[in-house]
Amino acid sequence: MHKPTTLRARVAWPLGLAVVFLAAARTTAFADDAQTIAWRRQAIAVSPDTPRGYVEYQNSCSVCHGPMPERPGTRALAAKYKGSLPAMLEDRTDMQPEFIRYIVRNGISVMPPFRKTEVTDAQLDAIVAYLTRPRR
Amino acid sequence: MRTPPGISPATFAAAVSQFEKVVGPQWVFTRDEDTRLYNDAYSPFLGEPEERWASAAVAPATVEEVQEIVRIANRHSVPIYAISTGRNLGYGGAAPAWSGCVVLDLKRMNRILEVNEENAYALVEPGVSYFDLYRYIQERKLKLWIDCPDPGWGSLVGNALDRGSGYTFPYLRNHFDAHCGMEVVLANGELLRTGMGALPNSRTWQQYKTGFGPWIDGLFSQSNMGVVTKMGFWLMPQPEAYFCGRVLVRRRDDLHELVRLITLLENSNISSGCPDSSSPLLGIGSIGAQARFLAVDEPLPADDPELAALRDKAEAGDPSGLEAYGRRKNLAYWTFDIKFYGPAKVVAAQWESAKEILSAIPEAWFEDQGEYRFPLTEEPRDHARYPEFGIPSLNNFSLGARSSTNPTPSHGHMWLAPIIPRTAEAIFEANRVFGEAARQFGIPQLRFNLPAWYWQRSAIFIFGFPVSENPAENRHHREVFFHLIDVAGKHGWAEYRTGPVFQDAVARQFSFNNHSLMRFQETLKDALDPNGILSPGRYGIWPKHLRKPR
């Protein structure tokens, strides 16, 4: 949460959390992603060739880590890395499989851990494979 | 492997073994690395000995499996705690109310059994999330909307049973009110259907709520009388248009007439969406503004010492200076956003009618906040509108997550959310009472708070408390939380829902006639669940052997 300087700010946020925020500057430009919009509107267009990890990622992760600035995960990582790493997880090439597994099963900050009834070990393997796929 | 209190390792092992035979060993979780996933990630006791924990979890895929699990639990007196998607973060998450329960994780029961476009309803299992139903509707291009809460990963069943809320028509915003028909597994494993579902060959289970005789659905919400395995919901036909208009008023005391007229508009079906209020002069943003990551709806001069002093005077009872400031700067004291859904012509006429009615307030003025037509041709760029358009998302988690304006995110949050009357008088009184209570507790002052307007005939104050990794901080917040529950109760206000840590304290407030309501619930609990195996302690209802003197 916004670093509070008084108990007033710390203890009570009338009408939710956001009153401690000032107007947020949208410093990062994000392009619309056709696939994400498709997910919202018509579901993912899946062909037999679509990598399973891509589908699992869209189902379980992109709602927070998708390509729009209001997605909480993307927004958080943009603030964390300030451009030194991509805010979009799908653009990252530095993540190790164990790191991804640890975060999914332990959570971080306001992101809670995911139970195995939500993301099975097999689904997690597919997500890991997608996020660590070889890039050209 | 930890065992539930009072259950021997041998008995527990026997129960677990039988659970495994029912659902398969891969869907019974007993290792610590798996059971800790059921902890409440936003626990007010994060990392402390009192943090709620599960001894195991079992995840059935069918109602028959649920029945069998309940029978096994009964035979061995093993307590079980049912969750749906386990995502009511801020209200307990997936953790049991009583530590040591086996969590009955219904996430795998994720079938959408029926969606009826003509009559706008659905029948779903507990593991179906708002995202799942939205995706189903979009895939089939059905002209239906869902009334979503802010977090879209929640279960329709779980959210309704916890009595959550949304943003569209009044009769849909109250998610429990919007349900129609239930299927319930009772503690003895027997299957029950409510309403028209009890009538063999009925085709109106999701069309007529009450069936014949006592309407018992309420017994299964915010309670532990059974495990709900199916639930019907009324949906919203996709409207042609949405319009949002804003009314703005000059004076502090205009709030009385403003709240009265906004309520009249809603109760007369002139407006149809969830109203949203703000105070530009006091710097209180609407819920919509907060969802847009704005502190307030209208920009104010930053660090204006004159404004700060005038606000202090207004809060001390003399708003004249602040009102004059507002006139000079053309800033409103209060605003309300009023939402309309329907045919474009009807919506336009409703807004004209609303303006006529609200013009009874001297100097009131109006602003158009925009019209949308459906289906949308592009993603709404104003993400505050997502839930208003029936689109589930998790966007509001940005409010607590790290961001450019929030460099040190919290670990989570908990909500204090008392219901108050829908009057300006009650809003002023609640602010005075909570402000004084906070000062007594060493907190300088709670900011003036405007309620949310989810419910058609009441208002709801919402205070967010952060959960951190610092136990001393969490302890302090729990103390304030408990104190405010008592203070609210003394004034006839109480939480519409709360997390397990606070459920006993809230339930105690409902003490009319020597707690006759709780005594009635306990009578039912003892009759329906004599071994006390179903979700002990949920919403303050304890089985006989765990009940403490009041």
pLDDT tens per residue, range B393-409 = 888 887 778 877 777 88
Backbone angles phi, psi at B12, to 5 degrees: -65, -45
Q: Per CATH, which fold does B9-107+526-546 belong to?
A: 3.30.43
Which of B37, B434, B440 is best to mutate for the A interface (most A CBs within 10 A)?
Answer: B37
B534 pLDDT higher than 80: yes
Q: B41 to chain A: which residues are within 8 Å by CB?
A: 107, 112-113
Which domains does chain A carry?
A: 29-131 (1.10.760.10)
Instruction: Answer yes or no: same fold for B9-107+526-546 and B412-499.
Output: no
A16: nearest CB among B29, B85, B464:
B464
Q: Per CATH, which fold does B241-399 belong to?
A: Vanillyl-alcohol Oxidase; Chain A, domain 3 (3.40.462)
Q: B336 to chain A: which residues are within 8 Å by CB?
A: none
Over pLDDT 70: what percentage of chain B?
A: 97
Higher pLDDT, B539 or B295: B539
B405: nearest CB among A2, A80, A109:
A2
Are the beta carbons of B477 and A11 separated by less than 8 Å?
Answer: yes
Does B121 qualify as catalytic in the annotation?
A: no
A27 pLDDT higher than 70: no
Question: pLDDT class for B385, splitting at 50, 70, 90?
Answer: confident
Does B140 qualify as catalytic in the annotation?
A: no
Contact B277, B336 (CB under 8 A): yes
Q: Which residues contact B417 (CB under 8 A, 6 or more apart)?
A: B460, B461, B462, B463, B495, B496, B497, B498
Are the beta carbons of B293 and A24 separated by less than 8 Å?
Answer: yes
B464: nearest CB among A17, A25, A27:
A17
Q: pLDDT tens digits for A52-64?
A: 999 999 999 999 9
B191 pLDDT higher than 70: yes
Cα torsion angle, B166, B167, B172, B174, sign? positive
A36 pLDDT higher than 70: no
Burial B154-187 (b: 16+ CB within 10 A, else e): bbbbbbbbbbbbbbbbbebbbbbbbbbbbbbbbb
Q: Which residue of B has its CA nearest to A82?
A: B404
What separation in angstroms does the CA of B349 have from each of B115, B340, B362?
Answer: 32, 10, 22
Q: Which residue of B has its CA nearest to A87?
A: B403
* DSSP H or E stretch at residue B19: helix B9-23
End-to-end distance of chain A based on CA atoms, in angstroms?
38
SS (H, E, C) B461-502: CCEEEEECCCHHHHHHHHHHHHHHHHHHHHCCCEECCCCHHH
Q: Which residues on neighbouring strands pair with residue B193, listed in sequence order?
A: B183
Say yes or no: A105 contacts chain B, CB-CB below 8 A: yes
The pLDDT, as a whole number, for residue B480 is: 92
- What would the DSSP string read from start to end of B148-211? --SBTTSBHHHHHHTT-B-SS-HHHHBTTTTEEEEEEE-TTS-EEE-GGGGSTT-S-TTT-S--
Does B251 qualify as catalytic in the annotation?
A: no
Block residue for tokens 């959960």 = B467
Question: pLDDT class for B378, splitting at 50, 70, 90?
Answer: confident
Strand order in the sheet with B494-495: B459-460, B418-420, B494-495
Tell me how far apart the alpha carbons of residues B371 and A83 are, in angstroms, rounded to a whole number: 36
Q: pLDDT tens digits for B98-142?
A: 999 999 999 999 999 999 999 999 999 999 999 999 999 999 999
Tell me how far apart the alpha carbons of residues B167 and B150 are, in angstroms, rounded to a whole number: 9
Q: Which residues on neighbouring strands pair with residue B373, listed in sequence order?
A: B241
Are the beta carbons of B443 and A27 separated by less than 8 Å?
Answer: no
DSSP state of B313: H
* DSSP H or E stretch at residue B260: helix B254-267
A112 backbone φψ class: left, alpha, beta (φ>0; ψ -120 to 50): beta
CATH superfamily placement of domain B412-499: FAD-linked oxidases, C-terminal domain (3.40.462.10)
Are the beta carbons of B395 and A78 separated by less than 8 Å?
Answer: no
Per-residue tokens: B113 = 């059994």
Q: Which residue of B has its CA nearest to A107?
A: B41
Are the beta carbons of A25 and B135 separated by less than 8 Å?
Answer: no
What are the sequence ranges of the domains in chain B? 9-107+526-546, 112-237, 241-399, 412-499
Q: B396 to chain A: which residues are within 8 Å by CB?
A: 16
Over pLDDT 90: what percentage of chain B?
A: 82
Q: B107 to chain A: which residues are within 8 Å by CB?
A: 115, 117-118
The pLDDT, as a whole number, for residue A40 is: 44
Q: pLDDT tens digits for A78-91?
A: 999 999 999 999 99
Are the beta carbons of A18 and B399 separated by less than 8 Å?
Answer: yes
Q: What is the mean pLDDT of chain B?
A: 94
**Of these residues, B91, B134, B333, B539, which one is catalytic?**
B91
- What would the DSSP string read from start to end of B353-413? HHHHHHTTSTT-EEEEEEEEESS-SS--S-GGGTGGGT--B-GGGGGTS-BTTBSS--SEE
Q: What angle do CA B190, B193, B194 make, to 5 degrees?
A: 135
Tell me how far apart the alpha carbons of residues B404 and B401 are, in angstroms, rounded to a whole number: 10
What separation in angstroms does the CA of B238 have from each of B135, B351, B515?
Answer: 15, 19, 44
Q: pLDDT tens digits for B470-493?
A: 999 999 999 999 999 999 999 999
Calculate mean pLDDT across residues B25-42. 97
Per-residue tokens: A1 = 């949460």
A7 pLDDT higher than 50: no
Q: pLDDT tens digits for B208-246?
A: 999 999 999 999 999 999 999 999 999 999 999 999 999
A16: nearest CB among B290, B391, B480:
B290
- Write the class of the CATH domain B112-237: alpha beta
Q: A18 to chain B: which residues are within 8 Å by CB?
A: 285, 289-291, 293, 295, 399
Contact B477, B465 (CB under 8 A): yes
Contact B117, B141 (CB under 8 A): no
Backbone angles phi, psi at B468, to 5 degrees: -125, -175
Helices and strands counted in chain B (H then E): 15, 20
Are the beta carbons of B41 and A43 separated by less than 8 Å?
Answer: no
B-facing residues of A in 14-73 (CB < 8 A) are 14-25, 27, 32, 37, 39-43, 63-64, 68, 70-73
Tell me how far apart the alpha carbons of residues B221 and A127 are, in angstroms, rounded to a whole number: 36
Q: B108 to chain A: which residues are within 8 Å by CB?
A: 117
ipTM of this complex prediction, to 2 decimal places: 0.92
Are the beta carbons of B391 and A32 separated by less than 8 Å?
Answer: no
Which of B51, B381, B406, B439 is best to mutate for the A interface (most A CBs within 10 A)?
Answer: B406
Q: A123 to chain B: which residues are within 8 Å by CB?
A: none
DSSP state of B26: G
Are the beta carbons of A23 and B402 separated by less than 8 Å?
Answer: no
Q: A2 to chain B: which residues are within 8 Å by CB?
A: 405-408
Q: A114 to chain B: which residues are within 8 Å by CB?
A: 37
Say yes or no: A98 contacts chain B, CB-CB below 8 A: no
Higher pLDDT, A34 or B157: B157
A71: nearest CB among B395, B411, B448:
B395
Are the beta carbons of B293 and A73 separated by less than 8 Å?
Answer: no
Closest C-alpha to B163, from B153, B177, B150: B177
Burial B216-244 (b: 16+ CB within 10 A, else e): bbebbbbbbbbbbbbbbbbbbbbbbbbbb
**Of these residues, B130, B134, B325, B496, which one is catalytic?**
B496
pTM beyond 0.95, yes or no: no
End-to-end distance of chain B based on CA atoms, in angstroms?
34
Higher pLDDT, B268 or B284: B268
